[in-house]
Amino acid sequence: MADLAFAGQIAVIVTVHDTVHLKDADAAGVAPGFARFYIEGDVNALIAGQGGVPASVSWIADVPMTSANRLPKLKKAKLILLARPVPGKPGMLQLVSKTAQLTWTPDLEQRLRTILTQANGPSAPPVVTGIGHAFHVAGSIPGEGETQIFLKTADNRPVSLNIQRHPGEDPRWTVSLGEIVDDAAAAPQKDTLLWYRLACSLPAQLPADAVADQAPDDATAAQADYKLVLDGLGACGRTDGPAS
């Protein structure tokens, strides 16, 4: 949902009032088990979209066939569309992916609104694009140490992962959104925007150049601490490729 929301310029709730089943050359590339439709719908609500949209919009979508291999009935269906405007064609939308036409539910609408509200808020975390530099410092006693991992972001705002280990205690990791490490910070809660930015963007391991200046033992400790962060975040849960 977050991938689709951020890829689109428009998020809109519509009710379908007319459909045309497209065939032959107009249906080139349709996957088996799907049918292509030209669809027109009345706008119920605009969730996001600068400049707004007309009261009626149209779009093309590849829709799954029914379990009986029949054409789905779309008229009067209430949908959420994540889309872009088509230049030069007012009211025509282009879905950001084949999965960007969603059956409306109150919960789905609220989830989308929450994602977009967080993303457009003043404290929204930046888009993470990779790993910068990582370093580990061993403590004065066995089992003690600290790792800092600095992340690359799309707008160059500072983000760092901080992992601390103390003998007899569970390791603790936090995220800092600023130049100064915040000792009061915490790991992000699952399904928040910060969690999404990390869980769905971080690589599976630290790149070699991130720890190239570290002693072998420190590089190994940094890799272990990075794995601790990934395990703490858990899987991204992406069910489709990122929207184009």
Domain borders along the chain are 2-119, 128-233
Q: In this structure, which topology does domain 2-119 adopt according to CATH?
A: OB fold (Dihydrolipoamide Acetyltransferase, E2P) (2.40.50)
152 close to 133: Cβ distance less than 8 angstroms: no
Percent of the chain with pLDDT over 90: 79
Q: What is the pLDDT of residue 121?
A: 84
pLDDT in tens, 5-35: 998 899 999 999 999 999 999 999 999 999 9
pLDDT over threshold 90, residue 244: no
Q: What is the pLDDT of residue 87?
A: 92
Give the confidence band of 75 by pLDDT, cuts at 50, 70, 90.
Answer: very high
Strand order in the sheet with 145-153: 128-138, 145-153, 159-165, 172-176
pLDDT over threshold 80, residue 239: no
pLDDT in tens, 116-134: 998 888 889 999 999 999 9
pLDDT in tens, 88-105: 998 999 999 999 999 999
79 close to 53: Cβ distance less than 8 angstroms: no
Helix and strand totals (H; E) in the chain: 4, 10
With a CB cutoff of 8 Å and minimum separation 6, the contacts of 233 are: 187, 188, 195, 198, 199, 202
Q: What is the pTM of this model?
A: 0.80
Average pLDDT value for residue range 195-215: 94
